[in-house]
Structure 1
């Protein structure tokens, strides 16, 4: 299986605080990879660094055999990486469809978005019902679907998901992870970071455990779910 994304010896600091320390991991084509850890472990910092929203101290990030470290964020999106940020961050005062349109900002101007909207609405039927509604008036679960749909409008090869279950009711959490599986089955590679280790590892081909900015354990999703250490630290015993 070929490596789609490779992160090597990544270090990120905020002043004197070392948020990420010598992190190495790989995401292969068509995988779901979960990066789990407690709040403050450095998970979001890693995703933001991949998208060039945070500057690293040192390290290498290769995507499709191209060094993307320091590449402009818009160019990273154009190259095939789209991120769904923590907290959804939909654009208030804009409709659902206008939010989706913004997801395609790096696409060719001649792209027929009508067919693209149809694909997203097929994936997320509730968004079609709400397409003319202000995005800020959606429920948390609906906003998460919109944030995912917006990212998918960029036609990514790799989808980065930052805490997709945060603040959602249990029913919506199940639905969101089912959608992540479906998106992956449709050919999109997924890197998901989560505090909800149980859900994240259930869908993962492979996983990494991040503690205090360092990767301390790796394995298949099933192996990590069965680990006593993971169960004690993240799965309630």
Structure 2
């Protein structure tokens, strides 16, 4: 579904991503793990067209999207939930969700999608008229994910969905990610909580200073002594 080949990204003179190659098959949950500064967020930003690679190619469903504009990438079915959630303050929960459906001119279709989002996130239905900025961190994460789902993604890019959340919300968010995946959406997940990320992943890649240094199934990486030592406190 997604094929990243020899991807490099520079910020001025600094090379943030160094010839990274990986793939995501349809129906999978794939996790990218690594320390802060390893290049994980930059990779997602390159996939969604927010930064332009200095080298390499990105193909999605056999179409080259390396130089496509972000809105065209969203329209193709690849949707990014950024780190920090980036919900729109001063706008209601409902208005935030409606912005996620900007691709759909057909009101009936967007209403049908909204119904499924409210079924998955009942708290958003309860608070649909509330200013999005007044939601708790966990509720804002649900809103960010709900807004992304409004555009009917085929592949969902999630950047640090558990960041800053209480443990009870973290468990709930990961459960929701699995449910979204079971219902047909492929997921590429970046997450500081390596144990949680790998426990739900079909496969994973470990990044260090912009390079892939290890790959395997989620179970293999959880059992890897290198991963345990670096990320799991083992």
Place the TM-score, normalised by the shorter chain, in its bin: over 0.9
The answer for the alignment partner of 2:155 in structure 1 is 158
Residue 41 (structure 1) shift: 0.5
Are residue 71 (structure 1) and residue 71 (structure 2) matched? no
Q: Is the 8 A contact 1:140 1:168 kept in 2?
A: yes
Give the total of aligned pairs: 234
The answer for the alignment partner of 2:135 in structure 1 is 138
Gaps of 5+ in 2: none
Tell me the TM-score normalized by structure 2.
Answer: 0.98
1:175-194 to 2 correspondences below 5 Å: 175-194=172-191
The answer for the alignment partner of 1:47 in structure 2 is 44
The answer for the alignment partner of 2:54 in structure 1 is 57
Aligned equivalents of 1:113, 1:56: Cα separation in 2: 33
Instruction: Say which of 12, 28, 31 aligns to 2:28.
Output: 31
Instruction: Say which of 196, 200, 223 aligns to 2:197.
Output: 200
Aligned to 2:197, what secondary structure does the other structure show? helix
Residue 110 (structure 1) shift: 4.7
Q: Which runs of 4+ in 1 moved over 4 A?
A: none
Aligned equivalents of 2:76, 2:215: Cα separation in 1: 28
Gaps of 5+ in 1: none
Are residue 236 (structure 1) and residue 220 (structure 2) matched? no
Aligned to 2:188, what secondary structure does the other structure show? strand
Aligned to 1:101, what secondary structure does the other structure show? helix
Residue 15 (structure 1) shift: 1.5
Residue 44 (structure 1) shift: 0.3
Aligned equivalents of 1:52, 1:111: Cα separation in 2: 29
Residue 39 (structure 1) shift: 0.6
Aligned to 1:184, what secondary structure does the other structure show? helix
